[in-house]
Amino acid sequence: MIYVLYALCAIVCVFVLLLLVAVLRTLVSRMKKKKTPRYVPVGDREREDEYAKKLSEMIKIDTVSTSGIDKPERIYEFHALLEKLFPLVHKNLEKTDINGNLLFKWKGKKSDRPVVLMGHQDVVPVEGVWKHEPFSGDIDDSLVWGRGSADTKCTVMAFFQAVEELLSQGYVPEQDVYLSSSCTEEWAGPGCPSLVDYLKKRGVKPFLVCDEGGGIIENPLSGVNGDFAVMGIIEKGMCGVKFTAKSTGGHASAPTKNTPIARLARFVNDVEKKSPFKRELIPEVRSFFNTISEYSSFPLALVFGNLWLFGGLLTKLMPLISAQGAAMLGTSICFTMQSGSDAFNVIPAEASVTANIRFGKNQGREESLKIITDLAAKYGLETEVLLANDVMPSPDMNGEAFKLVKSVIKQTFPTIVSVPYVMTGGTDARFYQEICDTCVRFAPVLYGPAQMKGMHGIDECLSVSCLPGAVDFYKNVIKALGE
């Protein structure tokens, strides 16, 4: 017994010593704490007004896109507006239109390291009551209001405007520049794949693809203060999975045990209470937390800055801190649809629930689907995979193309800090990864709480003050190709 006590005392002493080391490291780091990074717009009212008006006109055209609903007249109305707003782009660049999906080629002095700038034309459907009509394009309180203002007609406006201005100055890019814009991004449709296939057949292998996904995020986690250039480098895979429970049915007046809905309910409840998937701190996520630790409250700085000690604790506590942060740690599952009997007094012969699964890098599509399929089988459920794409690999963070984006961010937004990020949503950039090794997901606009809430929600809006910086970012990317 005495030896057990000695062992416990030794373990406690070692832990206290390690904790003391972590606290001292954090205190030393905070003594030389850096200034809170804040986005400072360039403050050019004339440019803000010009760009806001162009974005407003783009918002006014309803380009809602959903699977199975085709409204080409709206897309081509939008194309006509683009030609009106950016005449030099349409006059000087080679335009390719594939079923409403656009690709513009700006011929450079060389073609061996082309760059692709991306943003999509389509927007998600509108629900609820808005302060400003969703397709009004109202400019009020220094904000542009409407569906697509933040996601992502703002970036489409910005890179078209960047090229328009460079053309007006007679600038010729060092490398070919492509402007890519699909009209089916919001439902992962065939638009972007058709553009990628077009480039692939012509042997085009982009040096860099820059799409939406990350952005300049205000206070990315509770307790973390500042504006950060969040660069999406890994895009989680995604699938829809249907779980079905069957029985012989019957009348609800004489219920049997283990009915389909009861089995589904137990399955859903157990998965919600304890996820079957592992949460892990992959290197890219460690880099994210290590970077933001310097700008966090002391408790978070202690944990984020000492993952060698608190990594395991963080993986357990992150769901309580941030759902977005927790989603970066591994595969996630969310139940989204259900069906059963058509009558309230009939036991269903078949009932089902459908889930959205996002694959983490630590457990990809194959492993994650096996885990959930085996678990569902224990409840007598059949599993059907409706669609699936695997997690996308990250670019070389020490590679030339990635460093170019980081340097341009620093050049354009010198007062903010860049951090890598695991994309939990989906983008068109994943299709470009077939032909490009460095796809960076970063929209050069400020996303505060209102913008994060409004995307795919109600009252979507964007600050006009960040529009000049967005245009400058794309200009600087193009110019950096010649440096």
Per-residue pLDDT of the chain (483 residues; tens, 9 = 90+): 666 665 666 666 766 676 677 777 777 777 776 788 999 887 789 999 999 999 999 999 999 998 876 678 999 999 999 999 999 999 999 999 999 999 999 999 999 999 999 999 999 999 999 999 999 999 997 999 999 999 999 999 999 999 999 999 999 999 999 999 999 999 889 999 999 999 999 999 999 999 998 999 998 888 888 999 999 999 999 999 999 999 888 878 888 888 999 999 999 999 999 999 999 999 999 999 999 988 888 888 888 999 988 899 889 888 887 888 889 999 999 999 999 988 888 889 999 999 999 999 999 999 999 999 999 999 999 999 988 889 988 999 999 999 999 999 999 999 999 999 898 888 999 999 999 999 999 999 999 888 888 888 999 999 999 999 999 999 999 999 876
Alpha carbon separation from 246 to 106, 119, 252, 350, 371 (Å, rounded): 57, 44, 15, 4, 21
CA-nearest of 440, 464, 459, 435 to 449 is: 459
Cα separation of 146 and 273, whole Å? 38
Residue 244 near residue 263 (C-beta atoms within 8 A)? no
102 forms bridges with which residues in the sheet? 97, 181
Taking the CA atoms of 41, 47, 49 and 50 in sequence, report the sign of the dihedral they define: negative
Instruction: Decide if 149 contacts 55 (C-beta within 8 A).
Output: yes
* Orientation of helix 467-480 relative to helix 400-412, angle to 10°: 140
Question: What size, in residues, is the chain?
Answer: 483
- How far, in whole angstroms, is CA 475 from its chain's centroid? 23
pTM attached to this predicted model: 0.91
> Would you put residue 178 in left (φ > 0), alpha (ψ -120 to 50) or beta?
beta
How is domain 45-234+392-480 classified at the CATH fold level? Answer: Aminopeptidase (3.40.630)
Q: Where are the domains of the chain?
A: 45-234+392-480, 236-389
Looking at this protein, which amino acid is placed at residue 226? Answer: G
- CA distances from residue 216 to 7, 40, 449 in whole angstroms, order as listed: 50, 11, 12
Please spell the DSSP secondary structure of 370-439, one letter per residue.
HHHHHHHHTTT-EEEEEEEEPPPPPP-TTSHHHHHHHHHHHHH-TTSEEEEEEE-S--THHHHTTT-S-E
Q: Rounded to whole angstroms, what are the CA distances from 410 to 36, 117, 226?
A: 15, 18, 15
Please give the biggest Cα pair distance in the chain: 87
Distance CA 283, CA 290 (A): 10
Domain 236-389 in CATH 3.30.70.360: yes
* Dihedral in degrees, nearest 10, Cα atoms 327, 328, 329, 330: 70
